[in-house]
């Protein structure tokens, strides 16, 4: 069989600007967009994509941008990764949908087998597949409530779990996710997160866990808690990495209280943080995990994976959905996971950290606005503050992001206070491109923070 890709020239891995950003064709398309697409759907960078792969995105004006977003931590294996393309092409030509709940197919089962292998813990596991991270989180809550016969769900400050009705209730931040979209679901309780940059100096993970647990016990009651739902490293909330010991202590409390410990690894999963999952770093074994973004190379697929006794507690027919575990998405997931294994993308994520973190620390040394450098693997961020304080500086954050965009580097912002610049490169990005992106970032900080000097 001829290799379709071998005959296609691969995308040149370079940053190359041939027009201003956005260029004329992108501006035209933005006008068409405004006339037909709801303005409720936002745009980070008004540049229309023609092609993407490796560490670059090429736009319709011929500009080539460095991708430090990976479509929000989705294309961990890169856009149009060769194995994913082949697997999708074969599957799409064979059958596209039968509905797994009507007439099943092997790909769905094979994805569940893989997820049992790569997720933490060697206990008996079961999986159900869905389409989006939000849907996975909703289903994890359904399963935890059903299995425990309890109702309360504990979530954390700065949490992000999605935009559907139940997940809006679970998400912390009002604007833009929740504002005027209520009423929200009940029996959701929020407790303090471990946030080393903003907690009392020296607060340990165990102390932060005690603070959260005291609040759960006094305000909810351990016996009422169905589940504690947590992102092991918070994503939209600003790449908040809890202090060491926090996650194990919360997981331990759940075991003692008979509550389900759910790790929302929708953003942190699939080699992003330098391990298969962020829970691995402290040997935390969640009862249930929600998975999505990095799983299927860009095709929509999500999962709840967890203890067989919980997953099988639900009555037959209680879980599902028309499209959940679509065969094309399953083929993409199997090819993505194989690519992660073959190319050691967890190792690639650690190499990205080794390049980025020292350079960001060096930048922070002479940039007082950089209050914190944090993250793990290829999930790295800087938190931007007013010099000498911890007061968030969202305006400077937006300005630095805009300057990066204008120079052809796709960066995203995050954080409850909108003052976090986050970096989520595809794990296959070349080290040269990564270093060039950091050069651009340094120049952007210099331009945005250097006071104008008078001549002479």
Ligand X SMILES: *Cc1c(COP(=O)(O)O)cnc(C)c1O
Residue 162 in contact with ligand X, rule: CB under 6 A: yes
Stretch that binds ligand X, among 241-249, 259-267, 361-369, 379-387 (CB under 6 A): 259-267
Residue 337 is a binding residue for ligand X (CB under 6 A):
no
Considering only the stretches 101-109, 146-154, 157-165, 271-279, report the one whose residues sit in contact with ligand X under the rule CB under 6 A. Answer: 157-165
Residue 264 found at the interface with ligand X (CB under 6 A): yes
Cα(430)–Cα(14) distance, integer angstroms: 10
Does residue number 231 form part of the binding site for ligand X (CB under 6 A)?
A: yes
The answer to whether 270 contacts ligand X (rule: CB under 6 A) is no
Q: Which of 55, 196, 235, 377 binds ligand X (CB under 6 A)?
A: 235
Name the phi and psi angles at 56, rounded to 5.
Answer: -130, 155
Task: Find out whether 409 and 425 touch, Cβ atoms under 8 Å.
Answer: no
Q: Which stretch binds ligand X (CB under 6 A): 9-17, 93-101, 262-270, 311-319?
A: 262-270
Cβ-count burial 232-257 (b if 16+ within 10 Å, e if not): bbbbbbbbbbbbebbbbbbbebbeeb
Cα gap 242→157, rounded to integer Å: 12
Q: How far apart are CB 41 and ligand X at their closest, in Å?
A: 12
Residue with tokens 């007013």: 386
Residue 105 within binding range of ligand X, rule CB under 6 A:
no
**Residue carrying structure tokens 């290799």:** 3
Nearer to ligand X, 235 or 238 (CB): 235
- Residues 64, 91, 132, 305: which binds ligand X (CB under 6 A)? 132
**In this complex, which beta carbon is closest to ligand X, that of residue 296 or of residue 410?**
296
Question: How many residues bind ligand X, per CB under 6 A?
Answer: 15
Give whichever of 267 and 367 is closer to ligand X, judged by the CB atom.
Answer: 267
- What b/e string do you get for 350-360 counting C-beta neighbours within 10 Å, with b at 16 or more? bbbbebbeebb
Q: Which of 47, 81, 115, 137 binds ligand X (CB under 6 A)?
A: 137
User: Binding to ligand X by residue 139, rule CB under 6 A?
Assistant: no
User: What CA–CA distance (Å, rounded) separates 158 from 165?
Assistant: 18
Least distance (Å) between residue 132 CB and ligand X: 4
Three-state helix/strand/coil letters over 87-153: HHHHHHHHCCCCCCCCCCCHHHHHHHHHHHHHCCCCCCEEEEEECCHHHHHHHHHHHHHHHHCCCEE
- Contact code string over 293-312 relative to ligand X, x by CB under 6 A: x-------------------
Strand runs labelled E in 157-301: 188-191, 225-230, 260-264, 288-291
Minimal CB distance to ligand X: which residue?
133
Pick the piece of the chain touching ligand X (CB under 6 A) from 128-136, 189-197, 371-379, 404-412: 128-136
C-beta of residue 384 within 8 angstroms of C-beta of residue 397: yes
Among 156, 160, 261, 417, binds ligand X (CB under 6 A): 160
To ligand X, the closest distance from the beta carbon of 51 in angstroms equals 23
Q: Please tell me the distance from the alpha carbon of residue 132 to that of residue 150, in angstroms, as a whole number.
A: 25
Supply the minimum distance, in Å, between the C-beta of residue 137 and ligand X. 6
Positive/negative CA dihedral, 53, 231, 126, 340: positive
Does residue 266 interact with ligand X by CB under 6 A? yes
Distance CA 155, CA 200 (A): 21
Contact predicate 119/276, CB 8 Å: yes
Contact pattern for ligand X over residues 64 through 103, marking x by CB under 6 A = ----------------------------------------
| 190 near ligand X, judged by CB under 6 A | no
Chain positions contacting ligand X, by CB under 6 A? 132-134, 137, 160-162, 231, 235-236, 264, 266-267, 292-293
């Amino acid at each position: 069989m001829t290799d379709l890709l071998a005959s296609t020239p691969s995308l040149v891995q370079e940053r190359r600007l041939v027009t201003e950003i956005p260029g004329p064709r992108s501006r035209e398309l933005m006008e068409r967009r405004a006339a037909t697409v709801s303005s409720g759907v936002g745009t980070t960078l008004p540049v229309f994509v023609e092609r993407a792969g490796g560490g670059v995105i090429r736009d319709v004006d011929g500009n080539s941008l460095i991708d430090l977003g990976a479509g929000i931590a989705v294309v961990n294996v890169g856009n149009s990764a060769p194995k994913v393309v082949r697997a999708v092409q074969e599957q799409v030509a064979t059958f596209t949908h039968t509905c797994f709940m009507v007439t099943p197919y092997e790909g769905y089962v094979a994805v569940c087998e893989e997820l049992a292998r790569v997720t933490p813990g060697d206990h008996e596991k079961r999986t159900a597949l869905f389409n989006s991270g939000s849907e996975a989180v909703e289903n994890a809550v359904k399963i935890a409530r059903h299995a425990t016969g309890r109702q309360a769900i504990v979530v954390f400050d700065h949490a992000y779990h999605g935009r559907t009705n139940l997940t809006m209730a679970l998400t912390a931040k009002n604007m833009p996710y929740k504002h005027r979209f209520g009423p929200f679901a009940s029996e959701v309780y929020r407790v303090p997160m471990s946030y080393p940059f903003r907690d009392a100096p020296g607060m340990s993970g165990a102390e932060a866990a005690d603070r959260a647990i005291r609040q759960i016990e006094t305000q909810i009651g351990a016996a009422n808690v169905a589940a504690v739902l947590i992102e092991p490293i918070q994503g939209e909330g600003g790449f908040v990495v809890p202090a060491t010991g926090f996650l194990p202590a919360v997981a331990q409390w759940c075991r003692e209280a008979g509550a389900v410990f759910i790790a929302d690894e929708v953003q942190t999963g699939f080699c992003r943080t330098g391990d298969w999952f962020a829970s691995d770093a402290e040997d935390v074994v969640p009862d249930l995990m929600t998975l999505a973004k990095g799983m299927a190379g860009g095709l929509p697929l999500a999962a709840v994976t967890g203890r067989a006794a919980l997953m099988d507690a639900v009555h037959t027919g209680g879980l599902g959905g028309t499209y959940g575990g679509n065969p094309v998405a399953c083929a993409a997931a199997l090819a993505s996971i194989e690519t992660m294994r073959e190319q050691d993308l967890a190792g690639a994520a650690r190499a990205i950290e080794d390049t980025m973190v020292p350079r960001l620390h060096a930048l922070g040394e002479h940039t007082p606005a950089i209050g914190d450098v944090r993250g793990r693997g290829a999930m790295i961020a800087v938190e931007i503050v007013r010099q000498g304080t911890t007061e968030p500086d969202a305006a400077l954050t937006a300005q630095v992001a805009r300057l990066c965009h204008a120079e052809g580097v796709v960066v995203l912002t995050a954080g409850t206070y909108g003052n976090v610049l986050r970096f989520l490169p595809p794990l296959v990005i070349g080290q040269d491109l990564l270093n060039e992106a950091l050069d651009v970032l340094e120049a952007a900080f210099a331009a945005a923070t250097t006071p104008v000097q008078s001549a002479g």
